[in-house]
Structure 1
Amino acid sequence: MTKQTWLITGCSSGFGELFVRQLTAQGDQVVATGRNAETRLAHLRETGATILDLDVTAPQAEIEKKFKEAWDAYGTIDVLVNNAGYIQCGALEEISQEELQRSFDTMVHGPINLTRAALPYFRERGSGWLLYMNSQSGFVGEPGATAYCASKFAIEGAVESLSKELAWLAPGIKPLIIESGIHSTEVMANLQHVTPRVPFWQPLNEAARVRSRGNYENPPGSAPDMVSKVIQIVKGTGVAAGREIPLRIPFGSDCLAEMLGKLEQLRKTYKEWENVANSTDFEEGKKPMARLPG
């Protein structure tokens, strides 16, 4: 199996920590990153990974400096894993602009800035993997999860556009969105709940707390198993052997059920409104220019 070098964000726990432990155990080289890395990632030093302090919400120039530092550690980076994130709970009316901005800074601007930092290196080499650890919440909105869903929807759109840009001009660079259902990590135990501001939404906030406790205590999916399969996908082994890798791959029966349910509803809606949708088309021969490739 070909050894690779990985840069992973959000390694203090959860998927990030699992990536570090599984990859180093396989002999891959890993740059494990996180905020306050000297203390928060100290438990990963015994893995042999390079520990790098990296706040994904830092300005672009700082992100580029950190990426170069990671690259120089081993002379290359083969796979960038954008994993850092958290869940901010609260109804849209109660979420402040500042809270929403923090979610976007971490889960939209952070991955995009790191992608910008990686692309010049990957373009020069002609290859590289760009992984985005996303969620079913990037396709299905959830009550009480406005900030999280909005940020996850946003990165899906950005990466889909990126995938078409790369397919056109740099096909050796592969973006991949991992759409995860609920797996056995600490994320559900570390939810950030909005400060109650509107009494009307108190029942929703309490329901979110009850649901998160249940998801944490009885998760339907195994996080180590999922991380193992994501690694196989990048390496083209195991579950990925002989298969073409799409832009998005869901993990978890709960995720798949939610997504298929939404797709069915969308198909029904679009079919019912097909005549209205088509009614605004230009007459034949007066249509605008074709779109760009992709």
Structure 2
Amino acid sequence: MATEKRTWFITGCSSGFGEQLVRQLRALGDNVVATGRNADSKLAHLKDTGATILNLDVTAPQAELDATFQQAIDIYGGVDVLVNNAGYIQCGAIEELTQDDMQRSLNTNFHGPINLTRSALSHFRSKGETGGGLIIYMSSQSGFIGEPAGAGYCASKFALEGAVESLAKELGWLAPGIKLLLLEPGIFSTEVMKNINHIPNRVEFWKPLNEACRVRGAGNYGKEPGNAVDLVSKVIQIAKGTGVAEGKELPLRIPFGSDCVKAFREKLQGFMKIVDDWDEVARSTDFPDQKGPMPDLPDK
């Protein structure tokens, strides 16, 4: 059954998931605004798809992001789906990472998506009484599980997941027609393993760890267990409510890849063991006359 034609605004389209989204969506006939830094050169290979190509650095000031998103609205008369895909990975032991190093990760992986969300929300809120639209965030297995030498990346993804979960509850109260989706892939067949930014060795003690991470990244490139083309195909189905998503309610988070599912299960099982083992101690810190948590927000 044919689905309604939609307009997508996608960041980070030079390669990987972003490029695949552009190509598959255009093949389906949807409108696509493909964005990226230095778009004239880095997105030139997408011109034959018929996508609209706009230059955009997600770390730009809010006003610049607002203007670019408005440009997409003006071109197509509206935007239906925002995909926050642009990302930056920096690898290094936390003792060696400077605040500036951490800030670069946060600027791209956290502030960029949240700022673009602000650009989109007023437009999505204008669509009917409950609003309308979908915002997709390319998070990661690393948004739930910390990794050695991955503090910058993991911190930015953990922050993104917390902010998006909070926003989902805000929207659920006042604008339930606007949906959010966090994608949490493991290791997939993209260029990401080749594009890791390794900081120089600054503390001799951590040199073995940094070298091991370089070997790991290089070893994973070209041998990734996850199929990026298939993931993108399924994400499109999920966004449209077809195929693998037919008849299913859209969740806030979806993990992808057997490696991710295995890691998530192990962490969740370990966390539940802690909760069970320390339940009595945790409850013992309540006031004797404690009446329970504050109630949820009332109906609007």
User: For the superposition of Structure 1 and Structure 2, which TM-score range results when normalised by the shorter chain?
Assistant: over 0.9
Q: Which residue of 2 aligns with 1:127?
A: 132
Q: Which residue of 1 aligns with 2:6?
A: 4
Structure 1 counterpart of 2:163, which letter? A
* 1:98 aligned residue (97, 100, 108): 100
Q: Which residue of 2 aligns with 1:62?
A: 64
Q: Which residue of 2 aligns with 1:76?
A: 78
Return the offset for 1:20.
Answer: 0.3
* 1:86 aligned residue (60, 85, 88): 88
* 1:185 and 2:190 aligned: yes
Structure 2 counterpart of 1:37, which letter? A
TM, length-normalised to structure 1: 0.98
TM, length-normalised to structure 2: 0.96
Structure 2 CA distance for aligned equivalents of residues 226 and 44 of structure 1: 20
Gaps of 5+ in 1: none
Structure 2 CA distance for aligned equivalents of residues 74 and 273 of structure 1: 55
* 1:216 aligned residue (200, 221, 225): 221
Structure 2 CA distance for aligned equivalents of residues 285 and 267 of structure 1: 24
- Size of the aligned set, in residue pairs, is 294
Structure 1 counterpart of 2:100, which letter? E
* 1:108 and 2:110 aligned: yes
What whole-Å deviation, never above 9, does each CA across 1:144-195 have from its counterpart, x for those lacking one? 1110000010000000000111111111000000001100000101110011
What whole-Å deviation, never above 9, does each CA across 1:74-106 have from its counterpart, x for those lacking one? 111000000000210001001111110010000
Structure 1 CA distance for aligned equivalents of residues 287 and 126 of structure 2: 43
Q: Which residue of 1 aligns with 2:48?
A: 46
Structure 1 CA distance for aligned equivalents of residues 294 and 202 of structure 2: 49
- 1:1-294 to 2 correspondences below 5 Å: 1-125=3-127, 126-284=131-289, 289-292=294-297
Aligned structure 1 segments of 4 or more residues deviating by more than 2 angstroms: 282-294
Return the offset for 1:293.
Answer: 6.0
Structure 2 CA distance for aligned equivalents of residues 138 and 35 of structure 1: 24
> What SS class does the counterpart of residue 282 from structure 1 fall into?
coil
Structure 2 CA distance for aligned equivalents of residues 275 and 248 of structure 1: 31
Return the offset for 1:288.
Answer: 6.3
Structure 2 CA distance for aligned equivalents of residues 96 and 15 of structure 1: 29
Structure 1 CA distance for aligned equivalents of residues 120 and 71 of structure 2: 12
Structure 2 CA distance for aligned equivalents of residues 292 and 140 of structure 1: 30
Q: Percent identity?
A: 65
> What SS class does the counterpart of residue 217 from structure 1 fall into?
coil
Structure 2 CA distance for aligned equivalents of residues 289 and 18 of structure 1: 45
Return the offset for 1:55.
Answer: 0.6
Structure 2 counterpart of 1:13, which letter? S
CA RMSD of aligned residues (A): 1.2
> What SS class does the counterpart of residue 32 from structure 1 fall into?
strand
Return the offset for 1:276.
Answer: 1.5
Structure 2 counterpart of 1:68, which letter? Q
Structure 2 CA distance for aligned equivalents of residues 16 and 55 of structure 1: 14
Return the offset for 1:216.
Answer: 1.0
Greater alpha carbon shift after TM alignment, 152-161 vs 65-74: 65-74
Return the offset for 1:284.
Answer: 2.6
What whole-Å deviation, never above 9, does each CA across 1:12-49 have from its counterpart, x for those lacking one? 01100000000001100000000111111011000000
Structure 1 counterpart of 2:211, which letter? E
What whole-Å deviation, never above 9, does each CA across 1:106-138 have from its counterpart, x for those lacking one? 010000000001000000111000000110000
Structure 2 CA distance for aligned equivalents of residues 204 and 248 of structure 1: 31
